[in-house]
């Protein structure tokens, strides 16, 4: 099934003409047959949302039709002939934005939602769409404005009989704002993995079972994209949903077997795959003695985020952790039987630091938001230090205003007029 | 026909200024000194430069404005320096960027000195009369008509009518027309502006009662002395020489508040008689009592009006309650139990013209050659008025001389902040300047106004040779001082190194320059002063403070500039002059209307408009970026 959406003042009229009916009940699905001239296009469900109670704030019509690309194409062509125009990328969002249906953070969440690949990411984008990032940020912003009001009043209305700002009160509020902004920005690393997906590279010397492990992981999970761009005969990549986290799994197997210049090329490619990865799965053959090459790989990956997988636990000669480097923790699996896979999942997720993904706490998934939060935090800390050193208010205020501007880029700007209004509402000013 | 009009003029000027308040005086003085034959028309020549409300000039941000006016070649700073009777530099305990001079004025002497200054200006002609209409020829402004039938010709007209524009005075339930207590209103001129199509709104302000100083028990109040060494407003003033006085501070009591609350029905503010919007930062005592009912007392200042009078201004007690009730209330204040009111307080409503009608030169776009300055633009305050008068006067003269107008940027001056706020955002209530309105507050100091603006004044011809020499030699002294601070270094082996280390209880490293030392926390300026090389000519405290302030704020200003550049990288994106905002799909009618009214020239200006939501802005930004790409 596919949904075609029309938005704008003509949306309803166009659809009425194509459906040959007089009116649609608002927000009720109507079963009808769409026609282009005499030709029947498809039997469809039509739901109409008159302005302003719609996604974009304009009249919106949703046509649910059968999913065949040919049918979808024909219906779209028919609407175009009736006067509709194709939406540009993000145009619906832009219209919703400009009609005040959503704020900037929500608009970005919509974009994330469209790009979201897994359930957890969808849930997360939906949360931001509901304005939760703004909602979570707002109390911190309010507290920040309060501090600014206290300090501005102190230096702007020196002749008025104002209570002096309480040092410890200001410090406490500032501290709580910093902690709050910090907590939100911390959620970004998990949030980014949710949105963009984690890249996992499987590596190991030949014949340790890399491909079996790769296939085992792909088989046991839901593959969400079948033909991944960039897949070559050399590298095998597959996108899977691993416990809610989109994962791009790359197998470096086959490299050495098919390459002529086995040694150098193989090592170089493995290096590159490992360098791009958020996590490296280093596969060892647990049924055999470790070879010098294994030791070399262990040494090479020691400084990266990696997980050592001891494969072939189904073989009698398997020795868990046998002759492994002392402080290396390994997961025992059998790629052939699937034994040990649940433990491998948990271990991978734990390594990806995605604990927040499933428990539903608010995450920042957008790089721009993360950047703004970090900048805000930096300014807040500078102001905090200035304040503790008893610098004059205007020096403390300079970074505070900067911080407010950064946060304002996420939730909307606070103007001088807003701050002045707050001052006059808080204090009795004026001789 | 044209000759008929021209010949019918009783007198011809290049520039006519209507109103001789703080805006009008600056406007006329500047225009005349730029070489324009200037007529300054006022209702009462004895009240030129009258302070309608409190007898004081300056204050935080307002003092900055006066310094900027002075640097540009205006007159307010010089006049107050000769007539101020109590000077204080406010915010002394804070950083130099938020310090600002303030002075009590001798109201009578200020007026006299202002009139003397104007009369000593060549090309400047004072005329008493009431302007009732503009004279147009073929839709072009060519002069003004007076109530007594005289007609004056002019190439440009500056309207600076203050609260006189259709003024209506309220005390209790009584209302009467007036521009100030005891003076007539300019009713016809407001009608004339409306006939030209200007959108006219209504604002309100108020003033407290004046008291008989002989009936005040001064001992009941806390004296508030001025600074021992007054800091002048003008860069040309060396010392304040006239005798200085004290002000006094007192408080209202809960009994006063109770009595006000009981009589709110008598207040035109609360009975609904007054329609105009008043300034929130200058509330009446009625407002203070109602809006901050939890406060048990409100501060009052007893400000003497001058050396030659007993009259005392009761600052903090602005009211429009009935006169007899004001008398009763005053007597409930400890120390004023015997006090008599000389002039009761009152509220006044007056007309203003939407300042979004103006360009950055303060010329109206509706009627070329017509300039507005002061309260007609919705501002409040003598300093706010004066700086607009200066800009309008300069530009009116330049207009008649076919010269390029001047505009001040908000990055370089509070005047620029004020004018841009007015013409881009309009006003909902009387506009007052605050330091927080300036994005680059740390750069706009009272002590560096000369460095920021004096060159403009010089280029225009408003800054005379002696003042320019003064400026030049000060800049030279500062440059030498800067070098000295950088080059005076103390090594571990030096005696001063050990002494300062011990004093600060900190290790200074192997070698430290005076400039580096000054940036450390808790290093007072006088310590730096004492460490300057002995062979250096005596350094003034003011010079040293200016140099130290530059270095104190340097880092902050850089980081602030970087932040603003990063956040507002699109601000310089140009909006075409003929942009059809209604054609941008997705902008609401309201937003299109606001954009059409303000006609922002850049995205940055659009961003600062009120009522433009983030959503509308991103739509506009997307549109502008697409358009730029298409070009």
A331 confidence band (pLDDT: 50, 70, 90): confident
Q: What is the per-residue pLDDT for A404? A: 93
Compute the average pLDDT of residues B378-389. Answer: 98
| Token couple for A308 | 């050592």
Write out residues 49-78 of A within 8 Å (CB-CB) of B: none
Percentage of residues of chain A with pLDDT beyond 70: 71
ipTM of the complex: 0.85
Strands B38-42 and B15-18: parallel
The answer on pLDDT for A230 being more than 50 is no
Assign B298 to helix, strand or coil: coil
Cβ of residue A164 closer than 8 Å to a chain B Cβ:
no
Average pLDDT taken over every residue of chain A: 77
Tell me the mean pLDDT in the region B623-629. Answer: 67
Is a pLDDT exceeding 60 seen at residue A361?
A: no
Q: What proportion of chain A, given as a percentage, has pLDDT over 90?
A: 12
Contact B242, B103 (CB under 8 A): no
- For an interface test with A, the pick among B93, B222, B436 (most A C-beta atoms closer than 10 Å) comes out as B436
Angstrom distance (rounded) from CA A298 to CA A294: 6
Q: With a CB-CB cutoff of 8 Å, which residues 438-477 of chain B face chain A?
A: 441-442
pLDDT band for position A270 (cuts 50, 70, 90): low
Would you state the pLDDT for residue A357?
43
CA-to-CA separations, A6 to A3, A19, A33, A45, in angstroms, rounded: 10, 14, 17, 14
Average pLDDT over residues B60-72: 98
Count Cβ atoms below 10 Å from residue B135 Cβ, excluding itself.
19
CA distance linking residue B460 with residue B390, whole number of Å: 12
When comparing pLDDT for B127 and A290, which is higher? B127
Would the CB atoms of A98 and B59 count as touching at under 8 Å? no
d(CA A318, CA A312): 7
Q: Distance between CA A157 and CA B254 in Å, rounded?
A: 23
Mode of pairing for the β-strands spanning A198-203 and A279-285:
parallel
Q: How confident is the model at residue A325 (pLDDT cuts 50, 70, 90)?
A: low
The arrangement of strands across the sheet holding B200-207 comes to: B174-177, B168-171, B346-353, B200-207
- Mean pLDDT, to the nearest integer, of B363-375? 97
**Confidence (pLDDT) at A70:** 67
Q: Is the pLDDT of residue B328 over 90?
A: yes
pLDDT at A164: 77
Integer Cα distance of B24 and B48 in angstroms? 9
User: CA nearest B233: which of B29, B478, B466, B69?
Assistant: B69
Query: What does the pLDDT read at residue B613?
Result: 65
Q: Which of A104, A155, A429 sits opposite B98 (nearest CB)?
A: A155
A424 and B280 in contact by Cβ < 8 A? yes
pLDDT at position A193 over 80: no
Task: In whole angstroms, give the CA distance from residue A158 to residue A431.
Answer: 11
User: HSE-up of B233 (CA within 13 Å, CB side)?
Assistant: 37
Of B94, B299, B610, nearest to A160 by CB-CB distance is B299
Cα B99 vs. chain centroid, distance in angstroms? 16
Look up residue A28 and give its two tokens. Answer: 């009720």
Which of B77-91, B207-221, B459-473, B588-602 bottoms out in mean pLDDT, i.e. has the lowest? B588-602
Give the residue, A94 or B325, on which the prediction is more confident.
B325
d(CA B443, nearest CA chain A) in Å: 11
Mean pLDDT of B391-398: 98
| Chain A contact present for B63, CB below 8 A | no
pLDDT band at A118 (very low <50, low <70, confident <90, very high): low
Stretch A323-334: mean pLDDT, rounded? 72
Is pLDDT above 70 for A227? no
Map residue B191 onto helix, strand or coil. Answer: helix
Query: Rg of the Cα trace of chain A?
Result: 29
* Whole-number pLDDT of residue A232: 34
- For residue B190, the model assigns a pLDDT of 97
From residue B345, alpha-carbon distances to A110, B54, B169, B209 in Å are 59, 12, 10, 4
- Parallel/antiparallel/unpaired status of strands B247-251 and B346-353: unpaired
d(CA B80, CA B470): 20
Residues 257-286 of chain B with CB under 8 A from chain A are 279-283
Kindly indicate the confidence band of residue B451, based on its pLDDT and cuts at 50, 70 and 90: very high
Pair of tokens at residue B353: 């013209």
Between strands A330-332 and A306-311, the pairing is parallel
Tens of pLDDT along B263-313? Answer: 999 999 888 888 888 888 889 999 999 988 889 999 999 999 999 999 999
Report the distance separating Cα B28 and Cα B20, nearest Å: 8
- Note whether A394 contacts B435, CB cutoff 8 Å: yes
For residue A418, pLDDT over 70 is answered with: yes
Residue B449 CA to residue A1 CA, distance in Å, equals 70
Amino acid A219: pLDDT: 72
Between β-strands B11-12 and B84-90, what pairing exists: parallel, antiparallel or unpaired?
unpaired
In chain A, what residues touch B613 (CB-CB under 8 Å)?
Answer: 100, 412
Q: Please tell me if residue A89 touches chain B, with a CB cutoff of 8 Å.
A: no
User: Which segment of A128-137, B81-90, B129-138, B242-251 scores lowest on mean pLDDT?
Assistant: A128-137
State yes or no: pLDDT of A79 exceeds 60. Answer: yes
Distance of residue A100 Cα from the nearest chain B Cα, in angstroms: 6
Residue B379 has pLDDT above 50, yes or no: yes
pLDDT > 50? residue A234: no
Q: Using CB atoms within 10 A of its CB, is residue B631 exposed (0-12), middle (13-18) or buried (19+)?
A: exposed
């Amino acid at each position: 099934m596919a949904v075609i959406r029309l938005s704008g003042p003509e949306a309803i009229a166009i659809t009425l003409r194509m459906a040959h009916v007089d009116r649609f009940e608002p927000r009720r699905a109507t079963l009808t047959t769409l026609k282009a001239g005499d030709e029947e296009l498809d039997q469809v469900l039509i739901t109409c949302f008159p302005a302003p109670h719609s996604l974009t704030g304009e009249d919106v019509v949703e046509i649910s039709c059968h999913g065949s690309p040919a049918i979808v194409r024909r219906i779209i062509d028919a609407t175009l002939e009736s006067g509709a125009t194709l939406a540009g990328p993000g145009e619906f969002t832009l219209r919703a934005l400009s009609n005040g249906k959503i704020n900037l953070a929500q608009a970005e969440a919509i974009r994330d939602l469209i790009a979201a690949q897994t359930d957890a990411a969808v849930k997360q984008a939906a949360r931001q769409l509901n304005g939760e990032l703004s909602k979570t940020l707002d109390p911190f912003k309010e507290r920040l404005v309060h501090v600014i009001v206290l300090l501005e009043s102190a230096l702007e209305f020196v002749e008025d009989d104002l209570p002096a700002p309480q040092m410890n009160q200001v410090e406490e509020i500032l501290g709580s704002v910093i902690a709050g902004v910090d907590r939100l920005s911390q959620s970004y690393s998990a949030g980014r993995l949710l949105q963009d997906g984690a890249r996992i590279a499987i590596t190991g010397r030949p014949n340790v079972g890399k491909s079996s492990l790769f296939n085992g992981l792909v088989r046991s999970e839901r593959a969400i994209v079948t033909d991944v761009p960039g897949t070559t005969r050399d590298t095998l990549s597959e996108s899977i949903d691993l416990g809610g986290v989109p994962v791009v799994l790359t197998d470096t197997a086959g490299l050495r077997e098919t390459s002529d210049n086995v040694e150098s090329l193989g090592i170089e490619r493995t290096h590159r795959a490992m360098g791009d990865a958020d996590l490296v799965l280093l596969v060892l053959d647990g049924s055999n003695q470790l070879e010098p090459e294994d030791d070399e790989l262990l040494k090479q990956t020691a400084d990266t985020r990696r997980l050592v997988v001891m494969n072939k636990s189904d073989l009698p000669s398997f020795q868990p952790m046998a002759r492994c480097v002392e402080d290396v923790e390994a997961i025992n699996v059998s790629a052939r039987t699937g034994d040990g896979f649940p433990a491998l999942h948990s271990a991978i997720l734990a390594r990806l630091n995605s604990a927040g993904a499933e428990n539903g706490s608010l995450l920042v998934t957008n790089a721009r938001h993360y950047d703004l939060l970090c900048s805000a935090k930096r300014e807040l800390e500078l102001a905090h230090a200035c304040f503790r050193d008893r610098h004059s208010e205007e020096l403390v205020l300079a970074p505070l205003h900067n911080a407010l501007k950064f946060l304002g880029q996420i939730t909307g700007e606070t103007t001088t007029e807003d701050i002045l209004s707050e001052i006059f509402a808080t204090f009795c000013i004026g001789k | 026909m044209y000759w008929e009009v021209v010949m019918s003029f009783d007198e011809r000027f290049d520039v006519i200024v209507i109103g001789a308040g703080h805006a009008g005086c600056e406007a006329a003085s500047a225009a005349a000194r730029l070489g324009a034959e200037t007529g300054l028309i006022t209702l009462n020549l004895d009240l030129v430069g009258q302070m309608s409300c409190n007898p004081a000039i300056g204050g935080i941000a307002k003092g900055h404005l006066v310094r900027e006016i002075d640097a540009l070649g205006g007159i307010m700073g010089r006049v107050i320096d000769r007539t101020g009777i109590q000077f204080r530099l406010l915010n002394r305990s804070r950083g130099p960027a938020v310090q600002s001079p303030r002075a009590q004025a001798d109201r009578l002497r200020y007026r006299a000195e202002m009139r003397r200054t104007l009369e000593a200006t060549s090309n400047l002609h004072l005329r008493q009369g009431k302007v009732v209409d503009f004279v147009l020829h073929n839709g072009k402004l060519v002069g003004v008509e007076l109530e007594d039938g005289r007609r004056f010709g002019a190439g440009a007209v500056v309207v600076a009518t203050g609260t006189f524009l259709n003024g209506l005075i309220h005390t209790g339930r009584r209302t009467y027309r007036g521009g100030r207590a005891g003076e007539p209103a300019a009713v016809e001129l407001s009608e004339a502006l409306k006939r030209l199509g200007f959108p006219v709104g209504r604002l309100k302000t108020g003033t407290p009662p004046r008291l008989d100083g002989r009936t005040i028990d001064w001992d009941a109040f806390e004296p508030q002395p001025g600074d021992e060494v007054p800091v002048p407003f003008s860069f040309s003033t060396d010392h304040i020489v006239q005798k200085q006085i004290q002000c006094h501070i007192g408080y209202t009591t809960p009994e006063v508040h109770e009595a006000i609350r009981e009589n709110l029905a008598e207040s035109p503010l609360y009975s609904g008689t007054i329609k105009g919007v008043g300034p929130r930062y200058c509330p009446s005592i009625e407002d203070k009592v109602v809006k901050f009912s939890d406060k048990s007392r409100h501060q009052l200042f007893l400000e003497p009006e001058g050396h030659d009078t007993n009259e005392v201004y009761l600052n903090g007690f602005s009211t429009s309650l009935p006169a007899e009730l004001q008398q009763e209330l005053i007597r409930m204040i400890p120390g004023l139990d015997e006090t008599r009111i000389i002039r009761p307080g009152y509220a006044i409503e007056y007309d203003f013209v939407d300042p979004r009608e103006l360009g950055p030169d303060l010329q109206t776009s509706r009627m070329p050659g017509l300039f507005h300055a002061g309260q007609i633009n919705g501002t409040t305050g003598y300093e706010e008025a004066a700086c607009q008068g200066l800009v309008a006067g300069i530009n009116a003269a330049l207009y008649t001389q076919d010269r390029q107008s001047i505009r001040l940027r908000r990055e370089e001056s509070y005047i620029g902040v004020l004018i841009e706020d007015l013409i881009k955002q309009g006003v909902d209530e009387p506009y007052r300047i605050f330091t927080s309105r300036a994005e680059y507050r740390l750069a706009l100091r009272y002590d560096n106004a000369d460095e920021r603006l004096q060159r403009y004044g010089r280029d225009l011809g408003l800054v005379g040779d002696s003042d320019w020499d003064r400026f030049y030699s000060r800049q030279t002294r500062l440059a030498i001082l800067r070098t000295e601070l950088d080059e005076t270094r103390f090594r571990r082996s030096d005696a001063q190194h050990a002494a300062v280390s011990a004093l600060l209880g900190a290790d200074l490293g192997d070698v430290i320059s005076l400039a580096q030392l000054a940036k450390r926390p808790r290093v007072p300026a006088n310590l730096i002063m004492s460490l300057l090389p002995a062979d250096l000519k005596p350094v003034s405290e003011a010079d040293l403070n200016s140099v130290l302030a530059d270095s104190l704020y340097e880092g902050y200003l850089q980081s602030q500039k970087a932040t603003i550049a990063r956040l507002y990288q699109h601000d310089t994106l140009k909006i075409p002059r003929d942009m059809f905002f209604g054609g941008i799909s997705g902008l609401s009618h309201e937003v299109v209307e606001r954009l059409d009214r303000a006609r922002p020239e850049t995205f940055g200006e659009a961003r600062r408009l009120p009522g433009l939501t983030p959503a509308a802005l991103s739509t506009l930004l997307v549109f502008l970026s697409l358009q730029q790409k298409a070009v």
